[in-house]
Amino acid sequence: MYFAGIDAGSRAIKIVLIDKNIKIIASGIVDQGIDQKTRILNLFKSLLNKHKLTRNKISRIVATGYGRNIVDFADTTITEITCQTYGVRHLVPDVKTIIDIGGQDSKVIKLNRDGTVRDFAMNDRCAAGTGRFLEVVAERLGVKLKQLGEMAKKSKSSVTINSTCVVFAESEIIGLLASGTSSNDIVAGVQSAIAIRIGIMVGQNIDLPIIFTGGVAKVSGMKGALEKVLNQPIIIAPEPQYTNALGAAILASKE
């Protein structure tokens, strides 16, 4: 008996397969692409074939994420807030705050002692506090996304990015480059700007431990930038891109 969680995210598709003991059997990730529906189905079939499983071995499927409603072979859909909470709590049972920064949105989820959601904030209308901001910077600087962390480490004087909109921030970055500002200092400034945006979402009251999830958690330097803004230690979740899909799979097993 197996269960599947499908996270049809804004930038990538993630799938996790678990058994009845919530042991992860398989996981996979692909870029969203243009035909998201086909890519989801192809990834699902690929994971089944790789692990010699057939569709009838999957007892239940839960879909979550931006594109959850197009996963027509899923048994049901559940919101990211709920799935993210279940996924992170399975990995870190005493989690109190979840910071999730994805490609095009960011979330802060605050939990009660019993693990239920007390409050949450979500930014899905502005790219300034998301991975998209980092992508824009990487494109503008002509480097790969994975290089940004090393560049930020080499910064000698992080600049302040004043614009809260990515479009205007990009213009600000062009101006900084024209004035001779170091690319390393710009990257450090952008990471700080994202962290400040998340800090506003978190607010004054924050309980520990804080778990960091989403694709941006894998970008070197972002953990440190958040810790500096929040003045609190942060733990990056194991396989931070898969926590939402894992939560969906766990909820599928509960049904």
What is 11-60 written as a DSSP string? Answer: SEEEEEEEETT--EEEEEEEE--S-HHHHHHHHHHHHHHHTT--GGGEEE
**Average pLDDT, integer, range 54-73:** 96
**Average pLDDT, integer, range 212-223:** 95
Q: Is the dihedral of CA 2, 214, 93, 8 positive or negative?
A: negative
Same domain, 64 and 106: no
Distances (CA, A) of 17 to 42, 59, 85: 15, 11, 18
* Predicted pLDDT of residue 170: 87
Half-sphere CA count of 76, side-chain side, radius 13 A: 14
Same domain, 182 and 102: yes
Same domain, 136 and 254: no
- pTM here? 0.94
Q: How confident is the model at residue 10 (pLDDT cuts 50, 70, 90)?
A: confident
The one-letter code for the residue type at 236 is I
Same domain, 182 and 228: yes
Quick: pLDDT tens for 98-117: 999 998 889 999 999 999 99
Mean pLDDT taken over the chain? 94
Q: Measured between alpha carbons, how far is 237 from 198 in angstroms, rounded to an integer?
A: 17
Q: Does residue 125 carry a pLDDT above 70?
A: no
Q: First CA to last CA across the chain, in angstroms?
A: 13
Q: Measured between alpha carbons, how far is 109 from 131 in angstroms, rounded to an integer?
A: 18
- For residue 204, the SS3 value is coil
Phi, psi of 220 (to 5 degrees): -55, 135
Same domain, 249 and 226: no
Same domain, 85 and 99: no
Q: Does residue 126 carry a pLDDT above 80?
A: no
Q: Which two tokens stand for residue 229?
A: 């803004």
Same domain, 73 and 101: no
Same domain, 53 and 120: no
Q: Does residue 127 carry a pLDDT above 80?
A: no
106: domain CATH number? 3.30.420.40
Same domain, 152 and 136: yes
Same domain, 14 and 105: no
Q: Which domain holds residue 225?
A: 94-236
Same domain, 39 and 149: no
Same domain, 243 and 228: no
**Average pLDDT, integer, range 163-175:** 85
State the residue for tokens 């509960």.
254
H/E run at residue 63 = strand 58-64
Q: Does residue 164 carry a pLDDT above 80?
A: no
